Amino acid sequence: MQKPLAGLNRRNVVRELTAGVTLLAIAIPLNIGYAQIAGLPPTAGLYALVLPAVVYALTVSSRQLVASPDAAAAALVASSIGGLAVAGSADYLTLALAQAILCGLMFLALAFFKLGFLANFLSKPILVGFVGGLALDILVSQVAKMLGVKIDSGGEFVDKVAGLLGGLDTVNGWSLLISLAALAVLILGKRFARAVPWALVVLIVATVVVVIADLDKAGVSVLGEVQAGPPTLTWPVIDWSTWLVLVPSAIALTLVTTAEGLLVSRSYGEKRHYDTSPNRDLFAFGLGNIAAGASGGFSVGSSTSRTAAMDQAGSRTQLPSLVMAVGTLLLLIFGTALLADIPSPAIGAIVAFAVVPLLGIRDFVGLWKVDRFEFAIGAVCFLVTLFIGSIPGIVVAFVLALINLAKRAANPAIDVLAADDNATDSLLDRAPTGAVTAPGVIVVRLAAPLFFANGSVFSDAVKRAITAAPAGAVHHLVVDMEAVTDVDVTGAEAFASLREWLAAQHVELAFSRMRPDARERLVRLAILEQEPVFATNRAAIAALSDTVH
């Protein structure tokens, strides 16, 4: 097992410590904003940077993945708990803590039973659509904050847009000016000096301006008093029925984090040449979320943007996360008074700047160019998440994933190599270029398991290949079984029906390259005798030789 802080040595410790300071500067303003999105006090976002970050950093296999609440998780928390309690209330916070603990238990279960593969059902179009819908919902709230317009940030998307449009006559000029200046600094800073923590610079400068010019009296909203003190261990006390109500949203959070977290972890491991363990990463997410729920934070996931920032800073260990945790703890103990005058428009600008890439505009354009069906999947998921809700969005995502899987499985690649150059020419469109078989022989190669979705498709393809040839021209059918890894009952029944049809056509059936497990399966299903017939005659052997070469 990989040791905690793997990769750390005397040569890179200074660089890792410096990267930790950068991570602290990035994380504090973002987590304050994400806590507001979730309807939680700023301390919930800061507490999530302390104990959860330490637990995760010491148990994860990835050397670089940064665990923290992100925009998508914050939006899911708000949309799932908003109807159960009033945002900002003690009951609301208790529900958020319970939700994080449920997520942690689900991560631990996934790790124990090695079920991380379930996240593979969230394909790229589904993730793009789901996260994009959440991002647009967040963006509307942040634009309102930037303009100084008061809307119900916990309401439905349509209500938020209506509130924003209806409140345009109440736009605060100073709030708008702060927001525009903040965006200008963030955009230009990212282009010309990426290494500088511009989000922190924006917060400091904006706060100084608000304090000196007394702009809070001019209508500029500020963060307000932030509770001082370190996180304390606690446990949410709610009844069992409420725990059960939180399960669907916890499932959604777990699945999205699993899909994104494992993908990012693996990609950076491959990029930087170190091994990662998906189940250990899930275990770390589980402990991190339980720590968040037990210390006043909220659900943590993988932060793609912060992980990328650490990679660009040269970090190759989890030490920056520990530096971030220590720095946040010191801020909570000694420096919360510094946060009270942070202007909300500046926080809104920082969060909006971070959220815009999550809209997935480039991804949607790319999907439209390469695969319209995949684009439609992403678009439907986007619209359902945006207009109906995050939980229905994740349900629709899985349904669409299954539909997409069934669609592809029902149309497998079937290569048909005809008996001669004159017979069944129309069926050679999908045959490998230059393949020639012996006269009187057709070789069929199914590049997929034979099961209920494609059994009849395979049978029909074989029948078309034989009936398209002149009467009596085909004497042998060789089925190349190399890619047939499994056969289910329905597929076996289709095969049995095809065998009877071939016998009626006086076509001898033979097999090549059959896998032992597939043969055992066919014998068990009574489709084959104990010793199936394999290609033995000269024509069949010649045909098989061509399929191999």
User: pLDDT band at 438, cuts 50/70/90?
Assistant: low
Instruction: Say if residue 307's pLDDT is above 50.
Output: yes
Would you say residue 402 lies in a domain? no
Q: Is residue 5 part of a domain?
A: no
The answer to whether residue 391 is domain-embedded is no
User: Which of 362, 382, 402 lies at the terminal end of a domain, its last residue?
Assistant: 382
Q: Alpha helices, DSSP H only, in 294-360?
A: 304-312, 319-334, 344-355
User: Do the Cβ atoms of 543 and 438 come closer than 8 Å?
Assistant: yes
Are 291 and 433 in a shared domain? Answer: no
Residue 355 in domain: yes
Is it the case that residue 66 has pLDDT exceeding 90? yes
DSSP state string for 18-87: HHHHHHHHHHHHHHHHHHHHTT--HHHHHHTTSHHHHHHHHH-S-SSPPEE--HHHHHHHHHHHTTTS-T
Within a domain: 509: yes
Position with higher pLDDT, 125 vs 434:
125
pLDDT digits (tens, 9 = 90+) for 450-460: 888 888 889 99
Looking at the structure of the chain, the number of domains it has is: 2
User: Are both 323 and 427 inside the same structural domain?
Assistant: no
pLDDT digits over 232-268, tens only? Answer: 999 999 999 999 999 999 998 998 888 888 878 887 8
- 98 lies in the same domain as 230: yes
pLDDT > 90: what percent of the chain?
A: 36
Highest mean pLDDT among 49-53, 418-422, 463-467: 49-53
Residue 532 — pLDDT band, cuts 50, 70, 90?
Answer: very low
Please check the confidence at residue 544 and state whether its pLDDT lies above 70.
no
- When the pLDDT of each residue in the chain is averaged and rounded to a whole number, the result is 85
| pLDDT of 422 strictly over 60 | no
- Tell me 265's DSSP state: H
Tell whether 335 and 378 lie within a shared domain: yes
Q: Is the backbone of residue 523 left (phi > 0), alpha (psi -120 to 50) or beta?
A: alpha
pLDDT at residue 545 above 50? Answer: no
- pLDDT higher than threshold 70 for residue 546: no
Same domain flag for 418 and 331: no
Question: What does the pLDDT look like over 324-352, one tens digit per residue?
Answer: 999 999 999 998 888 889 899 998 898 88
Residue 437's pLDDT band, with cuts at 50, 70 and 90, is low
Do 381 and 396 contact (CB within 8 A), yes or no? yes
Which tokens belong to 373? 């069906």
- Band of residue 536 on the pLDDT scale cut at 50, 70, 90: very low
Domain boundary among 382, 402, 428: 382
Helix/strand/coil for 367: helix
Rounded to an integer, what distance in angstroms lies between the CA atom of residue 148 and that of residue 174?
Answer: 9
Please state, in angstroms and rounded to a whole number, the distance separating the CA atoms of residues 426 and 471.
16
535 is in which domain, residue-wise?
Answer: 414-548
> Looking at 75-128, which runs of residues are DSSP E strands?
none
Residue 517 reports pLDDT greater than 90:
no
Q: What is the pLDDT of residue 121?
A: 65
Answer whether residue 19 is part of any domain.
Answer: yes
**Average pLDDT of 385-413?**
79
Residue 125 lies in a domain: yes
Percentage of residues in the chain with pLDDT exceeding 70?
91
Least confident residue range of 35-39, 87-91, 409-413: 409-413
Say how many C-beta atoms besides its own lie within 10 A of residue 544's C-beta.
Answer: 22
The pLDDT of residue 218 is above 50: yes
Q: Is the CB of residue 295 less than 8 Å from the CB of residue 47?
A: yes
Q: What residues contact 195, with CB distance under 8 A and at least 6 apart? A: 22, 312, 313
Same-domain check for residues 138 and 191: yes
Phi, psi of 301 (to 5 degrees): -135, -155
Which helix (H) or strand (E) is 119 found in, with range? none
Higher pLDDT, 277 or 517: 277
528 and 434 in a common domain: yes
Q: Is residue 418 very low, low, confident or very high in pLDDT (cuts 50, 70, 90)?
A: low
User: 463 pLDDT exceeds 70?
Assistant: yes
- Clarify whether residues 456 and 307 are in a common domain: no
Over residues 517-524, mean pLDDT: 81
pLDDT tens-digit series, residues 137-181: 889 988 999 999 988 766 788 888 999 999 999 999 999 999 999
Does residue 377 sit in the same domain as residue 434? no
Tell me the CATH number at 479: 3.30.750.24
* Spatial distance between the Cα atoms of 547 and 529, rounded to a whole number of angstroms: 25
Q: Are residues 295 and 378 in the same domain?
A: yes
Q: Which of 423, 429, 381 is nearest to 401 (CA)?
A: 381
Cα–Cα distance between 380 and 484 in angstroms, integer?
A: 33
CA distances from 450 to 435, 456, 482, 488 (A): 24, 9, 12, 7
On the question of pLDDT at 548 being above 50, the answer is no
- Label each residue of 465-524 as H, E or C: HHHCCCCCCCCEEEEECCCCCCECHHHHHHHHHHHHHHHHCCCEEEEECCCHHHHHHHHH
Predicted confidence at residue 525, as pLDDT, reads 80
pLDDT band for 435, please (50, 70, 90 cuts): very low
- The residue with greater pLDDT, 429 or 528, is 528
Three-state SS at 436: coil
Among 335, 364, 382, residue at a domain's last position: 382
Q: Are residues 171 and 310 in the same domain?
A: yes
One-character DSSP codes across 145-210: HHHT----TTS-HHHHHHHHHHTGGG--HHHHHHHHHHHHHHHHHHHH-TTS-HHHHHHHHHHHHH
Query: What distance in Å separates the CA atoms of residue 259 and residue 123, rounded to the nearest whole number?
Result: 9
In a domain, residue 404? The reply is no
Residues 100 and 248 in one domain: yes
Question: Phi/psi of residue 477, each to 5°?
Answer: -120, 125
